[in-house]
Amino acid sequence: MQPHTNKRDKPWLMRTYSGHTSAKASNALYRSNLTKGQTGLSVAFDLPTQTGYDSDHILARGEVGKVGVPICHIGDMETLFDQIPLGKMNTSMTINATAAWLLALYVAVAERQGVAHSQLQGTTQNDILKEYLSRGTYIFPPEPSVRLITDVISYTVQQIPKWNPTNICSYHLQEAGATPMQELAYALSTAITILDAVRDSGQISADAFADVVGRISFFVNAGIRFIEECCKMRAFVQLWDKIAQERYGVDDPKMRRFRYGIQVNSLGLTESQPENNVQRIILEMLAVTLSKDARARAIQLPAWNEALGLPRPWDQQWALRMQQVLAFETDLLEYDDIFGGSPVIAAKVQELVEGAEEELERVRENGGMIQAIENGYVKRQLVTSHTQRMRAIERGELKIVGLNCFRETEPSPLVGEGEGSIMKVDPRAEREQIESLKAFREQRNAAEVEAALAHLAEVAKSGENIMPASIRCAHAGVTTGEWSQVLREVFGEYRPPTGIDITSHDATPSATVQEIRDRVHRTGEELGRPLRILVGKPGLDGHSNGAEQIAVKARDVGFEIVYEGIRLTPRQIAKGALEEGVHLIGLSVLSGSHMELVEDIFKELAEVGLADIPVIVGGIIPVEDARTLRNQGVAAVYTPKDSDMNTIMADIVDIIRQSNGLKPFEQKAA
């Protein structure tokens, strides 16, 4: 038996990913979380902030304060950290395309609080490459995006040495369907791309480069197959050590450590029997804590009811308490690595390392991560894995308790009728935020703003580090939208690759799939032309995996799918539906802005004479909202509990039939 050490290991940083409504409301939440024993902050920004729009931009409608806090300027940032001493805080910010800007605001607030740069501790996510693959909050094309990441790294390594300038994410890759091997390979390929760019930018001298490698951290996902996930973490440790040593010549083993934070898998949480998510979250947490050699540095856990809507403070407290029980009540932290010497674990780790190295090689053959993203290689691999996973769930080969097996349940006392079990963002919040933004713009010094923006544009063009100019903008009162607009003009905006041109098909379609294909075909014959559907995501939410899966599935059962992608205005959707002559519109909204967006889309559809076209909506939509949407004329609402895609496809055929005066099919296809 392994002797246990005398000294308990230090616990990891405990955070809760949070922020909503306004800077003021989020500040109150943060302060209350800190009194409960949380040891760091994890700031969730709303989608307009993440995609570089002010709260009053047309694309921001319905999105302000929904998935995070709106930060338009230094005033908002000061309110957010009111009475929170930044010199003592460890703050993680989930921010990517506008990371340099939000960091600039943070630094400016610290300066106003009188805190030295060297005292600041925290993390900016700042991994834009994964935004192109999943999550979708990119703004600029890869080249300038990598330059922004490089600038933040170079600046912080020299000015804010305790800052983690980039958190390379495999988290969202798993959400997009990545297998553990793919997660390893693509996250490490991204890290290599970023480090190469920093090296090639010449901003850091060769002898200081080990500091850069040492500051790279990762943000990882842990799924329910927790033994394999634990091995994945060990594989990460091995591979990173090797890359740091062989590729970047880092001699100091401390600088080669794989440092990572974790959020366990939110997308795998179920809406049906949501209390089961508690077990899932805990098991997933074990994956990243059991092995001391590969233990997470920071953990944030989702709340048990995330698949239902926004969690309340109590739900988040429960998640925090899970961490505290594991860290403080159990004996976990008393032991050295408990897997050392296990041949079973070693073999699994080896398998993952080898698989990941092969895939790393394939990325290299594609010309590196940027090329492999731009030519669609990585996206195809992810969508293929994701599709396989969805099919396995559909066929019951992959079991999810309460979803595709053991579905019988007592009514849950935790999920009451009405609005009790989730939090709602006050609909007045958006208006108030816009009013305060307008007031802020009025009182600032316009000449200073203009000069700071002009300077920013110069720096963006010249290639000089973007951070000092951004900090100047922050002090001058520049807004998030203005900062981003200047860079949009200099850098241009990213065009996504067509993306889901995957060729994988259900080679042996089940009888159900055959039946649905037949119905799609027959209905097309009856209506005179093939059935066409428009699938798209209105608003700023970039989580496109769900929409892509629906699109691929619908293609496989014989629909012609016009896939419109993300960040669509209601007008674009109506225009697309008209021009493409579709029979039905499928919308996906995960950001909670479904009510406003659907209302606007109905208005726009009526304007182009398509008031009668059936619309279906999928997303994280609370029960009462779903009811309201149906009353407003939405033909069907699908939430995470509707996991059987065949049923959805059969529904779609019937909805189209009914809206065209045909009788629906009598028997269930699925």
Partner 1 sequence: MTVRGTLPDPEALAAAVAARDRAALARSLNLLDDRRPQARRCAAHFLATLPSEKLDVEGHLIGITGPPGAGKSSLTSALIGVWQQRGLSVGILAVDPSSPLSGGALLGDRLRMLAHDHGSNGSVFIRSLACRGEFGGLSAEVWPMSLAMLAAFDIVLIETVGVGQKEIDISKMSDTTCFVAQPASGDSIQFLKAGIMEVPHILVVNKEDMGAAARKTLTELRFTLKKQMDPAGWQVPALAVSAVKGTGIEKLADTLDGHRQWLVEHDLLDTRRKQFQAEWIVKRLREEFGRFGIEKLGGEQHLFQVLTQRSGSPFDEYDALRDGFLTHWQES
Active site residue ranges: 17, 171-172, 537, 541, 543
How many Å apart are CA 19 and CA 68, to the nearest integer?
4
Residue 65 Cβ vs partner 1, minimum distance, rounded to whole Å: 22
**Mapping DSSP to helix (H, G, I), strand (E, B) and coil, where does residue 30 land?**
helix
Query: Which one of 130, 537, 575, 594 is in contact with partner 1 (CB under 8 A)?
Result: 575
Considering beta carbons, is residue 213 or 533 the nearer one to partner 1? 533
**Mapping DSSP to helix (H, G, I), strand (E, B) and coil, where does residue 194 land?**
helix
How many Å apart are CA 100 and CA 166, to the nearest integer?
11
- The angle formed by the CA atoms of residues 449, 451 and 453, to the nearest 5 degrees, is 70
| Sole window of 467-475, 564-572, 584-592, 639-647 interacting with partner 1 (rule: CB under 8 A) | 564-572
Residue the block writes with tokens 């070693």: 346
Closest C-alpha among 237, 208, 151 to residue 470: 151
Residue 135 CA to its chain's centroid (Å): 4
Judge contact between 16 and 42, C-beta under 8 A: yes
Judge contact between 545 and 588, C-beta under 8 A: no
Sign of CA dihedral 491, 492, 493, 494: negative
Q: Are strands 584-589 and 615-619 parallel, antiparallel or unpaired?
A: parallel
Residue 563 interacts with partner 1 (CB under 8 A): yes or no: yes
**Mapping DSSP to helix (H, G, I), strand (E, B) and coil, where does residue 32 land?**
helix
Residue 573 Cβ vs partner 1, minimum distance, rounded to whole Å: 9
Residue 568 Cβ vs partner 1, minimum distance, rounded to whole Å: 8
Residue 501 interacts with partner 1 (CB under 8 A): yes or no: yes
Judge contact between 585 and 577, C-beta under 8 A: yes
Of residues 606-635, which lie at the interface with partner 1 (CB under 8 A)?
A: 608-609, 612
**Mapping DSSP to helix (H, G, I), strand (E, B) and coil, where does residue 583 land?**
coil
| Sole window of 18-26, 128-136, 215-223, 566-574 interacting with partner 1 (rule: CB under 8 A) | 566-574
Residue 557 Cβ vs partner 1, minimum distance, rounded to whole Å: 6
| Sole window of 63-71, 209-217, 273-281, 568-576 interacting with partner 1 (rule: CB under 8 A) | 568-576
Residue 559 interacts with partner 1 (CB under 8 A): yes or no: yes
Considering beta carbons, is residue 3 or 661 the nearer one to partner 1? 661
Judge contact between 52 and 63, C-beta under 8 A: no
| Sole window of 87-95, 284-292, 497-505, 640-648 interacting with partner 1 (rule: CB under 8 A) | 497-505
Residue 606 Cβ vs partner 1, minimum distance, rounded to whole Å: 12
Residue 529 interacts with partner 1 (CB under 8 A): yes or no: yes
Name residues whose C-beta falls within 8 Å of residue 245's C-beta, 6 or more positions apart in sequence: 251, 256
Considering beta carbons, is residue 5 or 658 the nearer one to partner 1? 658
Residue 498 interacts with partner 1 (CB under 8 A): yes or no: yes
Residue 662 interacts with partner 1 (CB under 8 A): yes or no: yes
Query: Which one of 204, 346, 457, 578 is in contact with partner 1 (CB under 8 A)?
Result: 578
Residue 148 Cβ vs partner 1, minimum distance, rounded to whole Å: 18
Considering beta carbons, is residue 330 or 375 the nearer one to partner 1? 375
Query: Which one of 496, 624, 642, 664 is in contact with partner 1 (CB under 8 A)?
Result: 496
Query: Which one of 569, 624, 628, 642 is in contact with partner 1 (CB under 8 A)?
Result: 569
Residue 670 interacts with partner 1 (CB under 8 A): yes or no: no
Residue 561 interacts with partner 1 (CB under 8 A): yes or no: yes
CB atoms within 10 A of CB 470: 30
Q: What is the residue type of 589?
A: V
Residue 604 Cβ vs partner 1, minimum distance, rounded to whole Å: 9
Residue 450 interacts with partner 1 (CB under 8 A): yes or no: no
* φ/ψ of residue 493, rounded to 5: -115, 155
Residue 282 interacts with partner 1 (CB under 8 A): yes or no: no
**Mapping DSSP to helix (H, G, I), strand (E, B) and coil, where does residue 323 land?**
helix
Judge contact between 273 and 290, C-beta under 8 A: no
How many Å apart are CA 251 and CA 378, to the nearest integer?
32
Residue 58 interacts with partner 1 (CB under 8 A): yes or no: yes
How many Å apart are CA 7 and CA 228, to the nearest integer?
29
Query: Which one of 34, 59, 400, 670 is in contact with partner 1 (CB under 8 A)?
Result: 59
Size of the residue set binding partner 1 (CB under 8 A):
55
Considering beta carbons, is residue 245 or 659 the nearer one to partner 1? 659
Q: How far is the CA of 108 from the CAs of 78, 115, 470, in angstroms?
A: 9, 10, 10
Of residues 109-148, which lie at the interface with partner 1 (CB under 8 A)?
A: 141
Residue 4 Cβ vs partner 1, minimum distance, rounded to whole Å: 56
How many Å apart are CA 335 and CA 341, to the nearest integer?
14
- The angle formed by the CA atoms of residues 216, 336 and 222, to the nearest 5 degrees, is 50
DSSP code, position 46? P
Name residues whose C-beta falls within 8 Å of residue 80's C-beta, 6 or more positions apart in sequence: 23, 26, 27, 30, 43, 69, 71
Residue 528 interacts with partner 1 (CB under 8 A): yes or no: yes
Residue 252 CA to its chain's centroid (Å): 33
Q: Name the token pair of 508.
A: 């042996």
Residue 579 Cβ vs partner 1, minimum distance, rounded to whole Å: 5
| Sole window of 212-220, 347-355, 394-402, 567-575 interacting with partner 1 (rule: CB under 8 A) | 567-575
Query: Which one of 252, 579, 606, 633 is in contact with partner 1 (CB under 8 A)?
Result: 579
Q: Name the token pair of 315.
A: 């739900």
Q: Are strands 217-222 and 167-169 parallel, antiparallel or unpaired?
A: parallel
Query: Which one of 100, 139, 310, 520 is in contact with partner 1 (CB under 8 A)?
Result: 520
| Sole window of 248-256, 430-438, 496-504, 594-602 interacting with partner 1 (rule: CB under 8 A) | 496-504
**Mapping DSSP to helix (H, G, I), strand (E, B) and coil, where does residue 218 land?**
strand
Considering beta carbons, is residue 579 or 599 the nearer one to partner 1? 579
Of residues 368-397, which lie at the interface with partner 1 (CB under 8 A)?
A: 375-376
Give the binding site for partner 1 (CB under 8 A): 58-59, 141, 375-376, 493-501, 505, 509, 517, 520-521, 526-530, 551-552, 554-565, 568-569, 571-572, 575-576, 578-581, 608-609, 612, 659-662
